[in-house]
Amino acid sequence: MNPQHTIGREVYFQGIGLHTGNLCKTVFQPAPAGSGVRLVRSDLPGQPSIQAHYSNVLSVIRGTTVGNEDMRVHTIEHMLSAVYALEIDNLVIQLNANEPPVADGSSQGFFDTLKEAGVVPQDAPRDVLQPAERLDYRGGDTEITLEPADYLELTTVVVYNHPLIQRQEATLRIDPQTYRQEIAPARTFCFDYEVEALKKQGLARGGSLDNAVVIGLDRIHNKEKKLRFPNEFARHKALDLLGDLFLLGRPLTGRITAVRCGHGHNINFVKQIAQRFLERSSVYAADRS
Protein backbone atom coordinates (compact mmCIF):
# COMPACT_ATOMS: atom_id res chain seq x y z
CA MET A 1 0.00 0.00 0.00
CA ASN A 2 1.21 3.49 -0.89
CA PRO A 3 0.00 5.38 2.20
CA GLN A 4 -1.22 8.93 2.67
CA HIS A 5 1.06 11.30 4.60
CA THR A 6 0.86 14.20 6.98
CA ILE A 7 3.55 15.94 9.06
CA GLY A 8 4.91 14.75 12.38
CA ARG A 9 4.52 17.96 14.34
CA GLU A 10 3.45 21.58 14.11
CA VAL A 11 5.88 24.01 12.45
CA TYR A 12 5.65 27.56 11.17
CA PHE A 13 7.10 29.84 8.52
CA GLN A 14 6.75 33.61 8.48
CA GLY A 15 7.49 36.65 6.35
CA ILE A 16 5.79 39.18 4.07
CA GLY A 17 3.40 38.41 1.23
CA LEU A 18 4.59 39.15 -2.31
CA HIS A 19 1.51 40.98 -3.55
CA THR A 20 -0.18 42.23 -0.36
CA GLY A 21 2.97 43.13 1.55
CA ASN A 22 1.27 41.85 4.71
CA LEU A 23 3.32 40.11 7.40
CA CYS A 24 2.09 36.56 7.78
CA LYS A 25 2.83 33.67 10.11
CA THR A 26 1.90 30.39 8.45
CA VAL A 27 1.45 27.47 10.83
CA PHE A 28 1.45 23.92 9.46
CA GLN A 29 -0.35 21.28 11.54
CA PRO A 30 -0.88 17.52 11.11
CA ALA A 31 -4.31 16.46 9.82
CA PRO A 32 -6.22 13.15 9.73
CA ALA A 33 -6.09 10.80 6.75
CA GLY A 34 -8.60 11.67 4.06
CA SER A 35 -8.99 15.29 5.13
CA GLY A 36 -6.81 16.89 2.44
CA VAL A 37 -5.23 20.31 2.84
CA ARG A 38 -7.31 22.98 4.52
CA LEU A 39 -6.43 26.68 4.72
CA VAL A 40 -7.56 28.52 7.86
CA ARG A 41 -7.58 32.30 8.39
CA SER A 42 -6.81 32.51 12.11
CA ASP A 43 -6.97 36.33 12.00
CA LEU A 44 -10.65 36.45 11.04
CA PRO A 45 -13.70 36.04 13.31
CA GLY A 46 -14.68 32.40 13.56
CA GLN A 47 -11.44 31.32 11.84
CA PRO A 48 -13.06 30.48 8.49
CA SER A 49 -11.42 27.76 6.40
CA ILE A 50 -11.46 26.38 2.90
CA GLN A 51 -10.19 23.32 1.07
CA ALA A 52 -7.21 23.68 -1.24
CA HIS A 53 -9.17 22.70 -4.36
CA TYR A 54 -9.61 24.05 -7.87
CA SER A 55 -13.34 24.59 -7.32
CA ASN A 56 -12.44 27.27 -4.75
CA VAL A 57 -10.14 29.32 -7.03
CA LEU A 58 -11.26 32.96 -7.22
CA SER A 59 -8.41 34.62 -9.11
CA VAL A 60 -5.40 33.71 -11.22
CA ILE A 61 -3.90 37.18 -11.67
CA ARG A 62 -0.14 36.94 -10.95
CA GLY A 63 -0.81 34.05 -8.60
CA THR A 64 -3.53 31.62 -7.56
CA THR A 65 -6.09 32.81 -5.02
CA VAL A 66 -8.67 30.61 -3.28
CA GLY A 67 -11.55 31.74 -1.11
CA ASN A 68 -15.24 32.06 -0.43
CA GLU A 69 -17.60 34.69 0.99
CA ASP A 70 -15.78 34.58 4.35
CA MET A 71 -12.10 34.54 3.41
CA ARG A 72 -9.38 34.66 0.76
CA VAL A 73 -5.82 33.41 0.57
CA HIS A 74 -3.64 34.82 -2.20
CA THR A 75 -0.58 33.37 -3.95
CA ILE A 76 -0.76 29.84 -2.57
CA GLU A 77 1.13 28.09 -5.38
CA HIS A 78 4.68 28.16 -3.94
CA MET A 79 3.49 26.75 -0.63
CA LEU A 80 1.37 24.01 -2.22
CA SER A 81 4.16 23.14 -4.64
CA ALA A 82 6.35 22.16 -1.68
CA VAL A 83 3.48 20.23 -0.10
CA TYR A 84 2.99 18.29 -3.34
CA ALA A 85 6.70 17.53 -3.77
CA LEU A 86 6.93 16.12 -0.23
CA GLU A 87 3.92 13.86 -0.95
CA ILE A 88 1.92 15.38 1.91
CA ASP A 89 -1.79 14.64 1.51
CA ASN A 90 -3.32 15.95 4.72
CA LEU A 91 -2.48 19.23 6.40
CA VAL A 92 -4.02 22.18 8.21
CA ILE A 93 -2.44 25.49 7.22
CA GLN A 94 -3.27 28.39 9.54
CA LEU A 95 -2.48 31.90 8.30
CA ASN A 96 -2.83 35.12 10.27
CA ALA A 97 -3.01 37.21 7.07
CA ASN A 98 -4.35 36.84 3.54
CA GLU A 99 -1.15 35.71 1.81
CA PRO A 100 1.63 33.30 2.82
CA PRO A 101 5.22 34.57 2.96
CA VAL A 102 7.12 34.97 -0.29
CA ALA A 103 10.56 34.52 1.32
CA ASP A 104 13.12 34.71 -1.51
CA GLY A 105 10.53 34.07 -4.24
CA SER A 106 11.15 30.32 -4.30
CA SER A 107 9.58 27.42 -2.41
CA GLN A 108 12.66 26.16 -0.58
CA GLY A 109 11.65 27.81 2.71
CA PHE A 110 8.31 25.99 2.71
CA PHE A 111 9.95 22.72 1.68
CA ASP A 112 12.62 22.84 4.37
CA THR A 113 10.14 23.84 7.08
CA LEU A 114 7.78 20.98 6.24
CA LYS A 115 10.61 18.47 5.91
CA GLU A 116 11.88 19.50 9.33
CA ALA A 117 8.44 18.63 10.74
CA GLY A 118 8.83 15.11 9.36
CA VAL A 119 6.61 13.47 6.75
CA VAL A 120 4.80 10.53 8.38
CA PRO A 121 2.68 7.75 6.81
CA GLN A 122 -0.97 7.30 7.75
CA ASP A 123 -3.20 4.26 7.88
CA ALA A 124 -4.98 4.94 4.59
CA PRO A 125 -3.94 4.44 0.93
CA ARG A 126 -3.14 7.32 -1.43
CA ASP A 127 -5.74 7.62 -4.17
CA VAL A 128 -3.44 8.39 -7.09
CA LEU A 129 -4.93 9.42 -10.43
CA GLN A 130 -3.18 7.57 -13.27
CA PRO A 131 -4.76 8.63 -16.57
CA ALA A 132 -4.57 5.95 -19.26
CA GLU A 133 -5.02 8.30 -22.20
CA ARG A 134 -3.50 11.51 -23.51
CA LEU A 135 -5.11 14.86 -22.76
CA ASP A 136 -4.43 18.09 -24.68
CA TYR A 137 -5.15 21.63 -23.51
CA ARG A 138 -4.94 24.66 -25.80
CA GLY A 139 -5.46 28.30 -24.92
CA GLY A 140 -4.06 31.01 -27.19
CA ASP A 141 -0.31 30.43 -27.48
CA THR A 142 -0.34 28.05 -24.51
CA GLU A 143 -0.19 24.28 -24.99
CA ILE A 144 -0.26 21.75 -22.16
CA THR A 145 -0.32 18.00 -22.72
CA LEU A 146 -0.62 15.07 -20.34
CA GLU A 147 0.61 11.64 -21.41
CA PRO A 148 0.27 8.42 -19.39
CA ALA A 149 3.16 7.40 -17.12
CA ASP A 150 3.60 5.70 -13.76
CA TYR A 151 5.45 8.75 -12.37
CA LEU A 152 5.04 12.53 -12.57
CA GLU A 153 7.38 14.43 -14.87
CA LEU A 154 7.08 18.09 -15.86
CA THR A 155 8.53 19.75 -18.94
CA THR A 156 8.04 23.51 -18.90
CA VAL A 157 8.96 25.85 -21.74
CA VAL A 158 9.07 29.65 -21.54
CA VAL A 159 9.35 31.78 -24.67
CA TYR A 160 9.93 35.54 -24.50
CA ASN A 161 11.10 37.99 -27.10
CA HIS A 162 13.80 39.20 -24.73
CA PRO A 163 17.60 38.85 -25.12
CA LEU A 164 18.10 37.48 -21.60
CA ILE A 165 15.44 34.79 -21.93
CA GLN A 166 14.29 33.93 -25.46
CA ARG A 167 13.53 30.22 -24.93
CA GLN A 168 14.16 28.20 -21.78
CA GLU A 169 13.15 24.61 -21.13
CA ALA A 170 13.30 22.29 -18.13
CA THR A 171 12.36 18.60 -17.80
CA LEU A 172 12.27 17.23 -14.27
CA ARG A 173 10.91 14.12 -12.57
CA ILE A 174 8.99 15.03 -9.42
CA ASP A 175 10.33 13.38 -6.28
CA PRO A 176 11.38 15.07 -3.02
CA GLN A 177 15.14 15.03 -3.60
CA THR A 178 15.03 16.21 -7.22
CA TYR A 179 12.49 18.88 -6.36
CA ARG A 180 14.59 20.31 -3.51
CA GLN A 181 17.75 20.46 -5.60
CA GLU A 182 16.41 21.37 -9.03
CA ILE A 183 13.07 23.18 -8.60
CA ALA A 184 12.62 24.59 -5.10
CA PRO A 185 15.40 27.24 -5.39
CA ALA A 186 13.96 28.71 -8.62
CA ARG A 187 12.55 32.20 -7.96
CA THR A 188 9.57 34.07 -9.29
CA PHE A 189 10.42 36.72 -11.87
CA CYS A 190 9.15 39.82 -13.61
CA PHE A 191 10.40 42.54 -15.95
CA ASP A 192 11.46 45.88 -14.54
CA TYR A 193 8.96 47.76 -16.70
CA GLU A 194 6.13 45.74 -15.11
CA VAL A 195 6.86 46.74 -11.52
CA GLU A 196 5.14 50.14 -11.52
CA ALA A 197 2.10 48.77 -13.37
CA LEU A 198 1.78 45.92 -10.88
CA LYS A 199 1.88 48.30 -7.94
CA LYS A 200 -0.85 50.45 -9.55
CA GLN A 201 -2.99 47.30 -9.73
CA GLY A 202 -2.46 46.76 -5.99
CA LEU A 203 0.01 43.94 -6.64
CA ALA A 204 3.68 43.36 -5.77
CA ARG A 205 3.38 45.54 -2.63
CA GLY A 206 5.79 43.21 -0.87
CA GLY A 207 8.00 42.68 -3.91
CA SER A 208 11.68 43.58 -3.80
CA LEU A 209 15.01 42.51 -5.25
CA ASP A 210 15.21 40.09 -2.30
CA ASN A 211 12.16 38.04 -3.31
CA ALA A 212 11.91 38.13 -7.10
CA VAL A 213 14.21 38.12 -10.10
CA VAL A 214 13.74 41.49 -11.80
CA ILE A 215 14.81 41.45 -15.43
CA GLY A 216 16.05 44.56 -17.21
CA LEU A 217 16.75 45.05 -20.88
CA ASP A 218 20.35 43.91 -20.59
CA ARG A 219 20.86 42.83 -16.98
CA ILE A 220 19.42 41.09 -13.94
CA HIS A 221 18.79 43.72 -11.28
CA ASN A 222 19.15 41.47 -8.22
CA LYS A 223 22.09 41.96 -5.86
CA GLU A 224 23.84 38.78 -7.02
CA LYS A 225 23.35 39.86 -10.67
CA LYS A 226 22.92 36.28 -11.84
CA LEU A 227 20.47 33.40 -11.98
CA ARG A 228 20.57 30.30 -9.79
CA PHE A 229 20.18 28.12 -12.91
CA PRO A 230 20.66 29.01 -16.58
CA ASN A 231 16.99 28.04 -17.07
CA GLU A 232 15.70 29.34 -13.72
CA PHE A 233 12.56 30.83 -15.27
CA ALA A 234 11.50 27.53 -16.84
CA ARG A 235 12.16 25.78 -13.53
CA HIS A 236 10.03 28.33 -11.67
CA LYS A 237 7.21 27.66 -14.11
CA ALA A 238 7.47 23.99 -13.10
CA LEU A 239 7.33 25.05 -9.44
CA ASP A 240 4.18 27.09 -10.08
CA LEU A 241 2.56 24.39 -12.19
CA LEU A 242 3.08 21.77 -9.49
CA GLY A 243 1.44 24.05 -6.91
CA ASP A 244 -1.57 24.57 -9.17
CA LEU A 245 -1.75 20.82 -9.90
CA PHE A 246 -2.12 20.22 -6.17
CA LEU A 247 -5.57 21.81 -6.44
CA LEU A 248 -6.75 18.79 -8.41
CA GLY A 249 -7.31 17.23 -5.00
CA ARG A 250 -5.47 14.01 -5.82
CA PRO A 251 -1.86 13.14 -6.66
CA LEU A 252 -1.33 12.64 -10.38
CA THR A 253 1.00 10.57 -12.54
CA GLY A 254 1.89 11.40 -16.11
CA ARG A 255 4.32 13.28 -18.35
CA ILE A 256 3.17 16.88 -18.61
CA THR A 257 4.57 19.27 -21.21
CA ALA A 258 3.59 22.91 -20.70
CA VAL A 259 4.53 25.60 -23.21
CA ARG A 260 3.94 29.23 -22.16
CA CYS A 261 1.89 28.21 -19.13
CA GLY A 262 0.61 30.52 -16.40
CA HIS A 263 -1.82 30.28 -13.50
CA GLY A 264 -4.97 30.82 -15.56
CA HIS A 265 -4.03 28.11 -18.02
CA ASN A 266 -2.79 25.83 -15.24
CA ILE A 267 -6.14 25.96 -13.45
CA ASN A 268 -8.06 25.45 -16.70
CA PHE A 269 -5.84 22.43 -17.35
CA VAL A 270 -6.59 21.08 -13.87
CA LYS A 271 -10.31 21.52 -14.50
CA GLN A 272 -10.00 19.69 -17.82
CA ILE A 273 -8.23 16.78 -16.08
CA ALA A 274 -10.99 16.67 -13.46
CA GLN A 275 -13.77 16.76 -16.06
CA ARG A 276 -12.17 13.99 -18.12
CA PHE A 277 -10.96 11.64 -15.41
CA LEU A 278 -12.67 12.48 -12.12
CA GLU A 279 -16.05 14.18 -12.31
CA ARG A 280 -17.63 11.37 -14.34
CA SER A 281 -16.89 9.01 -11.50
CA SER A 282 -19.38 8.69 -8.66
CA VAL A 283 -16.39 8.17 -6.35
CA TYR A 284 -15.53 11.85 -6.77
CA ALA A 285 -18.53 13.17 -4.87
CA ALA A 286 -16.82 14.46 -1.73
CA ASP A 287 -17.64 17.89 -0.35
CA ARG A 288 -14.95 20.35 -1.43
CA SER A 289 -16.35 23.42 0.32
| Within-domain flag for 278 | no
Is 277 inside any structural domain? no
Q: Which of 5, 74, 236, 263 is catalytic?
A: 263
Average pLDDT over residues 227-249: 97
Amino acid identity of 262?
G
Q: What beta strand segments (E) does the chain contain?
A: 3-7, 11-16, 23-30, 37-41, 49-51, 57-59, 65-67, 72-73, 91-95, 119-125, 135-139, 142-147, 152-159, 167-173, 189-191, 213-215, 254-259
The answer to whether residue 287 scores a pLDDT higher than 90 is: no
Give residue 215's pLDDT: 86
In a domain, 253, yes or no: no
- Answer whether residue 110 is part of any domain: yes
Answer whether 235's CB lies under 8 Å from 156's CB.
yes
| Max CA separation in the chain (angstroms) | 54
Range(s) of the domain holding residue 44: 3-126
- The pTM (predicted TM-score) of the whole model is 0.92
Structure confidence at residue 154 (pLDDT): 98
Rg (the chain; Cα; Å): 18
Q: What is the CATH number of the domain that holds 109?
A: 3.30.230.20
User: How many domains are there within the chain?
Assistant: 1
Active site residue 263: yes
**31 lies in some domain:** yes
Domain-located, residue 11: yes
Comparing CA positions, the residue from 53, 178, 186 lying closest to residue 109 is: 186
Percent with pLDDT over 70 in the chain: 91
Q: Evaluate whether residue 99 is within a structural domain.
A: yes
User: Is residue 18 included in any domain, yes or no?
Assistant: yes
d(CA 63, CA 203) in angstroms, rounded, equals 10
What is the average pLDDT value for the chain, to the nearest integer?
Answer: 91
